[in-house]
Amino acid sequence: MPKIVIVGTGRIAWHLGRRLKAKGLPIAQVVSRTAEHAQALADTLHARWTNEWADVLPDADWLLIAVRDDAIAEVGAALAPHAPDALATHTSGATPGAVLQPHFRRFGVFYPLQSFSYEHSPVWSKIPFCVDAPTNEDVLFLKKIAKTIGNLVYRVDDGQRAFLHVAAVFANNFANHCFTIAEKILEEKDLPFEMLHPLMEETLAKALRDSPARMQTGPAVRGDADTVQRHLALLRSHPEWQELYQKLTMDINPELPF
Ligand SMILES: NC(=O)c1ccc[n+]([C@@H]2O[C@H](COP(=O)([O-])OP(=O)(O)OC[C@H]3O[C@@H](n4cnc5c(N)ncnc54)[C@H](OP(=O)(O)O)[C@@H]3O)[C@@H](O)[C@H]2O)c1
């Protein structure tokens, strides 16, 4: 049984910690900079806790570093002298595994490609786990853990993961931002956002069934320039949405005249 130490106490630490424990992989220790956060998570995991980097378990097998992206290197540097033999992995999609290389002999990445929040329980069987490490032995270890708590496991190197993360921003954050704009447009006209729910569901269902490029409909792909112009006129009180509409339309159909 590996001695697992979770570093950090945010969304990922909470969800992964509980899932690992539920699947028979107990957490030995929670380490975090804020004592009450470390204690709160450790209490739910029945684990030890500390807010001193130097008190990390020296015989830890796996350090699961789940702190903010820009703190990973600094936290890794603080922990490494005290648990030098551990496999240290972070959980970030946007950060190279190599940020841990100057500090640890064994390092890697354990990135669950999903949006986690405190309010929702993740559907573990549908989360792609992207793992990577320089040695096959450590990759196998990470794959085995991912298979225990999930179902979809991929080996993805730093270069691939950087692009995967960009793609995820388009698929999740930007798509969600478009939903947000749609909601505000309807709100301004006293229409319920629920009216768009069936359309949103159908859009996603079709994009999952087939290539989204092939499934595109609407004025831009039809080349319906008059409708595009009317929409742009309707958006004149929101120049930022007007600009976004125009940019997306041009990207869908570069031949449309503006
Ligand atoms: N949330 C997601 O949907 C998601 C999905 C995939 C991957 N990830 C990755 O998982 C990692 C954690 O994300 P999260 O969403 O769990 O973050 P989060 O909920 O915002 O929690 C951040 C954690 O980082 C700690 N932290 C922040 N700055 C620090 C510093 N300078 N030194 C030490 N600790 C520091 C915080 O400690 P305090 O409690 O003391 O503030 C907290 O425990 C990130 O690398 C993120 O990219 C997140």
pLDDT truncated to tens, each residue of the chain (258 aa)?
899 999 999 999 999 999 999 999 999 999 999 999 999 999 999 999 999 999 999 999 999 999 999 999 999 999 999 999 999 999 999 999 999 999 999 999 999 999 999 999 999 999 999 999 999 999 999 999 999 999 999 999 999 999 999 999 999 999 999 999 999 999 999 999 999 999 999 999 999 999 999 999 999 999 999 999 999 999 999 999 999 999 999 999 999 987
Residue 152, strand partner residues: 128
Q: Which residues, at least 6 apart from 29, have a Cβ–Cβ distance to it below 8 Å? A: 5, 6, 42, 47, 48, 49, 50, 56, 57, 60
Any domain includes 101: yes
Rounded CA gap, 62 and 60, in Å? 6
48-50 vs 62-65, strand pairing mode: unpaired
In this structure, what DSSP letter does residue 118 have? Answer: T
Any domain includes 42: yes
Any domain includes 142: yes
Any domain includes 246: no
Q: Are 52 and 26 in contact (CB under 8 A)?
A: no
The CA 225 to ligand 1 mean position distance, Å, reads: 46
Residue whose CA is closest, atom 8 of ligand 1?
92
> Which CATH number does the domain housing residue 14 bear?
3.40.50.720
Any domain includes 89: yes
Closest ligand 1 atom, CA of 114? 5
Any domain includes 95: yes
Containing domain of residue 33, as a range? 4-156
The count of structural domains within the chain is 1
Rounded CA gap, 197 and 186, in Å? 12
Residue whose CA is closest, atom 25 of ligand 1?
67
The CA 207 to ligand 1 mean position distance, Å, reads: 31
pTM, entire model: 0.91
Any domain includes 196: no
Any domain includes 13: yes
* Mutational pocket test of ligand 1: of 6, 9, 11, the residue with most ligand atoms within 8 Å of the beta carbon: 11
> For the packed helices 35-45 and 11-22, what is the interaxial angle rounded to 10 degrees?
20
